[in-house]
Structure 1
Amino acid sequence: MNNFNPGWFVIYTRPRHEKKVEDQLKERKIESFLPVRNEIKTWSDRKKMVKTPLFPSYIFVYIKELAQYYTATGLDGVIYFLKTGKNVSRVNEKVINDIQMLLDFGENISVSNSRFSTGQQLLIQKGPFVGRYCDFIEVNGSTLALVQLNVLQRSLTATLPYEYLTVAD
């Protein structure tokens, strides 16, 4: 990490340690982003709405200086920063903003490890994603607009009504 430039990075944590790592980062005044979604968990005697990480074992962190990198590396629950070869991988701020926008929209968000085959390309005309392109897929009879975000080799999907969509030129 010679010639360090501030930016967003991704920390890989021990399983189910994302919130603990986020709390430790906040204590040290290091900016972090842990995208979560509401999920209904079912036990034998009850159901409960719980917040689960959108990307299990991953947390985004904004590192301003090299000292913060080393501080974050030593936190309890942190395994490593994601790397490409020998270089620590950066995440474009636009990707962070897109994830935040998707979470703010908050309807039927899911994450898939698989890449969907490219279908008909559509343009979103209404809602928080106005002007963005998406791929149309059919899943369980629902209309899903796949908002393509290249984040940790996963695809984020959001359910959008038909009237929000039009064929892209």
Structure 2
Amino acid sequence: MAERLNEIGIVTYCPLISKTSQWSDRKKIVHVPLFNSYVFVQLTEKERNLIFEVPGVVRYLFWLGKPAIVRSSEIEAIKKWLSEPEGYEVSMDKWQKGDKIVLESGPFATQSAIIQEVKQNHYILILESLGCVLRVEKKVF
């Protein structure tokens, strides 16, 4: 979808991550969106309805009743995080589901988040400023 939006002149960003997929006969590394079903677009108010000309575009992400606006600093933080070879270590041992936190380090430092889920090998955070869910894998040492 990002490619189609680019073709009509819309600046897009769709952050991708590498994931190993298992088939019956082999494993393969595939690139999948970091935020499933999200494509960040940069456009003017005048261009807002232009994106709906692309098949598959359903709607904008809304936050507090208005289309969400993602700051360029947040996009840069995502890009920086994805460019790190080892990623970032996150520890939430003392946090529980429903806790509201401010991240202290990593690409989302100073961002507010709500703990949605704490599992044995990962955490699920809701990043308030992006209005999206982030899965953070626990590292094994």
TM class, shorter-chain normalised? 0.5 to 0.7
The structure-2 alpha-carbon separation of the partners of 1:73 and 1:106, relative to structure 1 and needing over 3 Å to count, comes to farther
| Aligned-residue offset at 1:156 | 5.5
Long gaps (5+) in structure 2: 89-94, 112-117
Counterpart secondary structure, 2:59: strand
Long gaps (5+) in structure 1: 1-20, 110-115, 163-169
Contact 2:19 2:31 in 1 (8 A): yes
User: Which one of the candidate residues 54, 74, 80 is aligned to 1:101?
Assistant: 80
Contact 1:149 1:156 in 2 (8 A): no
Q: Which residue of 2 aligns with 1:48?
A: 28
What is the letter of the counterpart of residue 91 of structure 1? V
The structure-2 alpha-carbon separation of the partners of 1:43 and 1:108, relative to structure 1 and needing over 3 Å to count, comes to farther
User: Which one of the candidate residues 53, 56, 69 is aligned to 1:90?
Assistant: 69
Give CA-to-partner distance per residue, 1:101-156, whole Å, 9 cap, x none: 111114357xxxxxx546xx9965xxxx59x569xx9x65xxx9xx9954333235
Counterpart secondary structure, 1:38: strand
TM-score, length of structure 1 as denominator length? 0.56
Q: Which residue of 2 aligns with 1:28?
A: 8
Give the structure, 1 or 2, with the largest relative contact order (CA under 8 Å, sep 6 or more).
Answer: 1
Q: Which residue of 1 aligns with 2:133?
A: 154
TM-score, length of structure 2 as denominator length? 0.66
The structure-2 alpha-carbon separation of the partners of 1:122 and 1:103, relative to structure 1 and needing over 3 Å to count, comes to closer
The structure-2 alpha-carbon separation of the partners of 1:94 and 1:158, relative to structure 1 and needing over 3 Å to count, comes to farther
Counterpart secondary structure, 1:61: strand
> What is the CA–CA distance in structure 1 between the aligned matches of 2:23 and 2:63, rounded to whole Å?
40
Contact 2:14 2:39 in 1 (8 A): yes
What is the letter of the counterpart of residue 53 of structure 1? P
Higher gyration radius (CA): 1
Q: Which moved more, 1:21-30 or 1:44-53?
A: 21-30
| Aligned-residue offset at 1:28 | 1.3
> What is the CA–CA distance in structure 2 between the aligned matches of 1:69 and 1:22, rounded to whole Å?
15
- Count of aligned positions: 126
Q: Which residue of 1 aligns with 2:57?
A: 78
> Which of structure 1's runs of 4+ aligned residues deviate more than 6 A?
none
